[in-house]
């Protein structure tokens, strides 16, 4: 991203820079606590089943509460929603701080606090995603989501390392205290942003009405499905990481390098490539096909260094693809329904993880991790190809209706067609 464009984005009237800074701080705190909670429960119980319950507690709430989370994001001031979630999150983590400091922490308490934090996160996520368009101009939306994705992935890569160092040097209490502080810092950042006025529905939103809006809004259902596939395909760096480490380097510890390469590629793309790829019309299907190329490179890699390069490519394509899908959804959905659709987007991303993890694990156990990654690559190829063909068909239909040759429309005409749902943007 050009430095002047980046400065205009961060220092604009909406103060997106404050939002960005607060987001990265709270995400570092959240991911550090997630790591510490898993490690603490394992040390207390020695049970991987108990550890699995902690992971379920983290991500179950967005799926179970989708009926209400999006409606709150549309009816209630989004800044207020985030502020309340941060206050309650800080209070919940403070319970862990006290219990850990006094030696009274139990696995049940860790699980309960994690579940409560998951509920707060379920309400915060759609409000946070729907707040971004109120802080930036429409032309800056892609770049804003790219930066937002970059900070999330950087936090996910840095936080476990930071948490490990803090636990080893000072104990679990310091990690939980750090998360409490980052909740409050993000709260302060949200108090300082200046969003545009928020449109709100005239009546109480209902989930079925939201689903009908999605169905009637051309291309949005496709984009939600794309978000599911693009997010799920990243499982090659998570569930399959240890098995790939053993296959490529004889050490499951290489999974950490694989995850770092993925996060690094995502961050590089978000910061360095976002503005460059905006010149390409069909950058969403192109990003998915590049993601497939990265996955294929992992499946065929003769050594760990080669695989790490391929994983970085995969991470770059992932962040460009999922952020483009998110931006296109926000351009198409009525402003009064944006929070509810963002809740559906969060559900698609959240449900993709266990679905792909189960499928990948099954294939890896029976055929090996390379074949499991190859299956992910094939899924991405099919998705990207279908999306590309859908865009081509829409272009041809639009051109035929106008009696014009099948060529790319002028930017203004294309924007009008996209806004009316006649043609997918890319």
**What pLDDT score was predicted for residue 202?**
66
Give pairs for 169-176: CB < 8 Å, separation 24+: 171/100, 172/36, 172/39, 172/40, 172/100, 172/105, 173/97, 173/100, 173/101, 175/32, 175/33, 175/35, 175/36, 176/33, 176/36, 176/93, 176/96, 176/97, 176/100
Domains recognised in the chain with CATH numbers = 1-193 (1.20.1250.20), 206-426 (1.20.1250.20)
Mean pLDDT of residues grouped by 10 in the chain (426 residues)?
Answer: 66 85 92 86 78 75 83 89 95 95 93 92 89 85 74 74 85 95 95 87 70 75 89 79 85 77 79 57 83 95 94 88 82 79 83 81 88 94 88 47 41 39 41
Q: 10 Å Cβ neighbour count for 49? A: 7
| CA-based end-to-end distance of the chain | 20
Q: Are the beta carbons of 329 and 222 closer than 8 angstroms? A: no
- Count, residues in the chain: 426
Predicted TM-score (pTM) of the model is: 0.71
**What pLDDT score was predicted for residue 190?**
95
**What pLDDT score was predicted for residue 336?**
77
Main-chain dihedrals φ then ψ at residue 205, nearest 5 degrees: -70, 145
Q: Are the beta carbons of 9 and 142 closer than 8 angstroms? A: no
If DSSP codes are grouped into helix, strand and coil, which group holds residue 254? helix
**What pLDDT score was predicted for residue 349?**
83
Residue 231, both tokens: 């997010």
**What pLDDT score was predicted for residue 296?**
95
Beta-carbon contacts of residue 205 (< 8 Å; ≥ 6 apart): 70, 71, 74, 75, 337, 340
């Amino acid at each position: 991203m050009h430095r002047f464009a980046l400065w205009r984005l961060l220092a604009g009237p909406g103060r997106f820079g404050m939002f960005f800074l607060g987001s990265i701080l709270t995400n570092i705190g959240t991911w550090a606590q997630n790591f510490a909670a898993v490690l603490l429960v394992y040390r207390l119980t020695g049970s991987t089943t108990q550890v699995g319950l902690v992971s379920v507690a983290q991500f179950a709430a967005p799926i179970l509460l989708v009926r209400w989370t999006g409606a709150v994001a549309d009816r209630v001031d989004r800044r207020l929603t985030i502020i309340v979630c941060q206050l309650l999150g800080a209070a919940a983590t403070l319970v862990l701080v006290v219990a850990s400091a006094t030696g009274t922490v139990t696995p049940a308490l860790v699980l309960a606090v994690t579940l409560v934090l998951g509920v707060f996160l379920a309400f915060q996520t759609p409000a946070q995603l729907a707040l971004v368009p109120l802080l930036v101009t429409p032309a800056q939306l892609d770049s804003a989501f790219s930066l937002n994705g970059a900070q999330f992935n950087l936090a996910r890569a840095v936080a476990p390392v930071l948490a490990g160092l803090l636990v080893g040097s000072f104990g679990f209490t310091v990690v939980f205290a750090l998360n409490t502080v980052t909740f409050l810092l993000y709260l302060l950042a949200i108090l300082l942003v200046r969003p545009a006025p928020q449109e709100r529905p005239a009546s109480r939103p209902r989930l079925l009405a939201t689903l009908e809006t999605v169905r009637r809004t051309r291309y949005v259902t496709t984009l939600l499905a794309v978000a599911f596939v693009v997010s799920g395909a990243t499982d090659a760096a998570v569930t399959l990481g240890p098995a790939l480490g053993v296959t490529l380097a004889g050490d499951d510890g290489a999974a950490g390098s694989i995850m770092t390469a993925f996060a690094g590629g995502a961050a590089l793309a978000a910061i360095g490539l976002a503005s460059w790829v905006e010149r390409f019309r069909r950058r969403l299907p192109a990003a998915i096909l590049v993601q497939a190329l990265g996955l294929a490179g992992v499946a065929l890699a003769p050594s760990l260094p080669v695989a790490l390069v391929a994983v970085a490519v995969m991470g770059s394509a992932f962040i460009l693809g999922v952020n483009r899908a998110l931006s296109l959804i926000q351009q198409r959905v009525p402003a009064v329904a944006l929070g509810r659709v963002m809740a559906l987007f969060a559900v698609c991303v959240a449900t993709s993880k266990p679905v792909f993890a189960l499928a990948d694990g099954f294939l890896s156990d029976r055929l090996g991790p390379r074949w499991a990654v190859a299956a992910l690559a094939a899924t991405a190829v099919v998705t990207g190809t279908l999306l590309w063909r859908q865009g081509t068909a829409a272009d041809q239909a639009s051109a035929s209706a106008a009696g014009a040759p099948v060529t790319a429309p002028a930017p203004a005409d294309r924007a009008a067609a996209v806004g009316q749902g006649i043609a997918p943007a890319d």
